[in-house]
């Protein structure tokens, strides 16, 4: 166990924005930004007149304006605690264009507001402002139109899925969306999860055809692997996203150069009107894993290189098998078979789908391109699933008992950071205000916890960051254990997907806080649900808790199908405890329909108890005073 790695907690929440620079010029501003710099890999720049605090702080040399110019291109984001006007004057000369400028955030000295000032979409400032705001428990100020219409910004739409942006009139399309005009979306490939998560009144029209006789689209979005040239004379703003779905199967004679491979792939793509931006990766036979030209080409383009043995490639039916190739490498096809396998790579990661009709994915059959000394064979197959190219993450998040102010800032940040949120619908409703436009939100019924865990793992293995939501604490009768168990069943290596756990206030703490201090002495929690635990085990624990005089919190006390367990629990306790032992029945703590009943062990069944209730049974010295339930700190009276 390497404990130091654990110190990186919370860091992954901000890692897409690193390196980050923070700028503070007053002691108050430094106090605000310094802890933030511990949560992300950032440097806090302060004036020479103020002493350095630790290695995360650094003096800026000369004027702040000149200093900013030197660190501008080295950072993805800048967080200022300075007057907004001053920040605008400082950064104005450095701004270049919104595709490459860093995210600019301004925080007021009291830490109440976090403003997304510049590069809201592509620079990620809108997103970062929300993350920092949740982290500081502040209010994010986001003025972009799409955010305020609860729509994903069109110029960052495909980023979670690893899509590449094409050319086009991005400002024109964004403007049409902001004006809530009809925008036609023609999506030929790539994940459609984003479509399923749009608000009801979104402005998109999906499909090729005429919208209606009277409605013309105000803009068009293409999402495809096909390269489209937009006529410069067209007045209709158009843009294109390229999901990375093309797998190029490659064979070559030894020594073929990187340049020859690059131009051959370019030529084949052009011939078939395919966009090189849509290439996910390269696939070939394992004996080519060290082919210098292929390796260099993949490195330069940052493509993954998948290699397969002749035996594996042999198992697939291809349109153009070659006896010559078979004699040489032991399989009749390299390019076509490898392309097909590449395009179906995700079966190995995601599984649980049937590997049928693999051959159907082949888009371009074998093309041979040769010169006197060099030769490549190229085939292209299209994957059903976009290649994201990132290691996915799972955040296991406890959201506390119900109200937003009972969620930790870390948990809020994790929810806001995630690409996808999975949980039971009641809890998803509770955290709606923390969601970001464009997030994938999936609910599954309360009884389908295992399915929820499997879905989270599937999305994370694909490459998304997934927040799995539990009420209370995720590790106390929550989803965290289920997800880790499922991961273990998939031979998880402990790192991929990366997992982080965010604790929450559990029901027993929340219930206790609403009635006083019943947990002041030794206590335990027992779930009365015998769906996954034999009732005999639960009986044994109830008896032990009753004999041991533990203050006891009963979770899952009664459901529609489990009516008798609470009756038996009461009778077990009555064998060892007095019938006037104080009991609190706390239903829906910190939610709008909260209800609290103070009663005793003998009478607790006279009141409503259900799955939204936590039953707190006091110990021998617990007492009620007015409406408060109090367990003394010890058994000996403090004088």
Interface with ligand SAH by CB under 6 A: which residues?
A: 401-402, 470-473, 476-478, 506-507, 510-511, 555-557, 586-591, 611-614
387 contacts: CB under 8 Å, gap ≥ 6: 162, 244, 245, 280, 281, 304, 345, 346, 463
Q: How far is the CB of 610 from ligand SAH (least distance, A)?
A: 8
Rounded to a whole number of angstroms, the minimum distance from the CB of residue 447 to ligand SAH is: 13
Which residue number places its CB atom closest to ligand SAH? 472
End-to-end CA, the chain: 47
Range list of H helices, 179-316: 193-196, 258-271, 292-301, 310-314
Q: Which is nearer to ligand SAH, 359 or 610 (CB)?
A: 610
Q: Is the Cβ of residue 511 or residue 583 nearer to ligand SAH in the bound state?
A: 511
DSSP assigned state of 158: T
Per the structure block, which two tokens stand in for 258? 């990187």
CB 619 within 8 A of CB 608: no
Specify the residue, 177 or 589, whose C-beta has the smaller distance to ligand SAH. 589
The alpha-carbon radius of gyration of the chain (Å, integer) is 30
Query: Between 307 and 527, whose beta carbon lies closer to ligand SAH?
Result: 527
User: Would you say 190 or 478 has its CB closer to ligand SAH?
Assistant: 478
CB of 467 to ligand SAH, least distance (A): 15
For residue 243, the minimal CB distance to ligand SAH (Å) is 37
Nearer to ligand SAH, 462 or 523 (CB): 523
Enumerate long-range contacts of 151-154, CB under 8 Å, 24 or more apart.
151/177, 151/198, 151/199, 151/202, 151/203, 151/437, 151/438, 152/194, 152/198, 152/437, 152/438, 153/120, 153/121, 153/126, 153/437, 153/438, 154/221, 154/239
Task: Give the CB-side neighbour count of residue 498, counting CA atoms within 13 A.
Answer: 18
57 or 613: CB nearest ligand SAH: 613
> What stretches of 177-237 adopt beta strand conformation (E)?
183-187, 204-206, 219-223
In the complex, the smallest distance separating the C-beta of residue 96 from ligand SAH, rounded to whole angstroms, is 48
Token duo for residue 352: 């649980």
- Integer Cα distance of 158 and 174 in angstroms: 14
- Nearest approach, Cβ of 571 to ligand SAH (angstroms)? 20
| Least distance from ligand SAH to the Cβ atom of residue 509, Å | 8
Nearest to 141 by CA among 117, 109, 122, 121: 117
**Closest CB to ligand SAH among residues 116, 529:** 529
User: Any idea what DSSP says for residue 319?
Assistant: S
47: number of CA atoms within 13 Å, CB side? 13
Least gap, CB of 433 to ligand SAH (angstroms): 18
């Amino acid at each position: 166990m390497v404990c130091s790695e654990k110190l990186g907690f919370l860091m992954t929440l901000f890692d897409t924005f690193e390196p980050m620079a923070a700028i503070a010029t007053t002691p108050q501003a430094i106090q605000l930004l310094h802890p933030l710099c511990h949560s992300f890999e950032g440097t806090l720049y302060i004036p020479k007149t103020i002493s350095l605090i630790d290695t995360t702080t650094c003096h800026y040399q000369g004027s702040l304006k000149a200093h900013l110019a030197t660190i501008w291109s080295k950072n993805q984001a800048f967080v200022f605690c300075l007057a907004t006007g001053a920040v605008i004057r400082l950064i104005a000369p450095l701004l270049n264009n919104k595709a490459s400028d860093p995210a600019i955030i301004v925080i007021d000295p009291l830490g109440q507001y976090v403003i997304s000032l510049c590069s809201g979409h592509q620079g990620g400032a809108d997103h970062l402002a929300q993350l920092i705001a949740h982290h500081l428990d502040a209010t994010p100020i986001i003025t972009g139109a799409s955010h305020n219409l609860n729509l994903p910004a069109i110029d960052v739409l495909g980023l979670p899925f690893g899509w590449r942006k094409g050319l086009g009139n991005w400002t024109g399309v964004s403007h049409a969306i902001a004006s809530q005009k009809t925008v036609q979306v023609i999506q030929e490939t790539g994940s459609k999860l984003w479509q399923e998560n749009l608000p009801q009144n979104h402005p998109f029209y999906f499909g090729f055809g005429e919208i209606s006789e009277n409605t013309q689209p105000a803009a068009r979005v293409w999402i495809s692997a096909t390269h489209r040239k937009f006529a410069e004379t067209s007045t209709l703003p158009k843009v294109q996203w390229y999901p990375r779905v093309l797998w190029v199967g490659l064979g070559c004679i030894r020594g073929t150069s990187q340049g020859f491979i690059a131009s051959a792939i370019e030529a084949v793509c052009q011939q078939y009107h395919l966009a090189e931006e849509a290439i996910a990766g390269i696939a070939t036979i394992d004996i080519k894993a060290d082919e210098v030209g292929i390796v260099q080409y993949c490195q330069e383009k940052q493509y993954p290189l998948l290699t397969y043995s002749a035996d594996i490639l042999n198992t697939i039916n291809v349109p153009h098998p070659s006896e010559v190739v078979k004699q040489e490498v032991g399989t009749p096809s390299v390019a076509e078979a490898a392309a097909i396998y590449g395009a179906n790579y995700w079966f190995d990661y995601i599984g649980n789908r049937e590997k049928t009709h693999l051959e159907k994915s082949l888009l371009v059959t074998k093309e041979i391109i040769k010169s006197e000394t060099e030769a490549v064979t190229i085939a292209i197959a299209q994957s059903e699933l976009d290649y994201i190219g990132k290691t996915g993450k799972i955040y296991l998040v406890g959201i506390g008992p119900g109200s937003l102010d009972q969620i930790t800032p870390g948990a809020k940040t994790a929810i806001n950071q995630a690409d996808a949120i999975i949980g039971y619908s009641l809890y998803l409703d509770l955290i709606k205000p923390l969601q970001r436009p464009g997030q994938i939100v999936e609910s599954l019924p309360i009884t389908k916890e295992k399915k929820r865990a499997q879905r989270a793992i599937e999305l994370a293995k694909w490459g998304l960051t997934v927040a799995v939501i539990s009420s209370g604490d995720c590790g106390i009768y929550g989803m965290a254990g289920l997800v880790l168990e499922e991961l273990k069943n998939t031979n998880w290596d402990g790192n991929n997907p990366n997992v982080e756990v965010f604790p929450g206030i559990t029901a027993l703490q929340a219930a206790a806080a609403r009635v006083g201090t019943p947990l002041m002495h030794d206590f335990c929690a027992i779930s009365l649900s015998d769906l996954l635990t034999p009732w005999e085990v639960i009986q044994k624990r109830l008896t032990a808790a009753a004999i041991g005089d533990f203050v006891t919190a009963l979770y899952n006390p009664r459901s529609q199908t489990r009516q008798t367990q609470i009756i038996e629990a009461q009778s077990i306790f009555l064998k060892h405890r007095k019938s006037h032992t104080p009991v609190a029945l706390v239903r829906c703590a910190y939610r709008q329909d909260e209800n609290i009943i103070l009663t005793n062990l003998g009478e607790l069944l006279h009141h409503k108890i259900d799955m939204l209730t936590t039953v707190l049974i006091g110990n021998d010295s617990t007492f009620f005073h007015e409406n408060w339930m109090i367990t003394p700190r010890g058994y000996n009276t403090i004088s």
